[in-house]
Chain A
Amino acid sequence: MKAGSNLEKVLKEGHFAVTAEIGPPMDADGEVVRSKARKLKGYADAFNITDNQTAVVRLSSIAASVILLQEGLEPVMQMTCRDRNRIAIQSDLLGGSALGIKNCLCIAGDHQSASASGKLKGHPGAKNVYDVDSIQLVAILRKMRDEGLQEGGDPIKKRPALLIGAAWTPCGNPIEYRPFRLKKKVEAGADFIQTQAVYDVALFESQMKVAGELGLLDKTAILAGIIVPRSLGMMKYMNTSVAGVSLPEALIKRMSDAKDAAGADKELMKIKQEEEGIKIAVELIEQVRAITGVRGIHLQAIEWEDAITEVVKRAKLYPRPTF
Chain B
Amino acid sequence: MNILYFLVGCSVLMALIFLGAFIWAAKTGQNDDVHTPGVRILFDDEVTEEKSEEDHFSS
A in complex with B? no
Chain B interface (Cβ < 8 Å from any Cβ of A): none
Chain A interface (Cβ < 8 Å from any Cβ of B): none
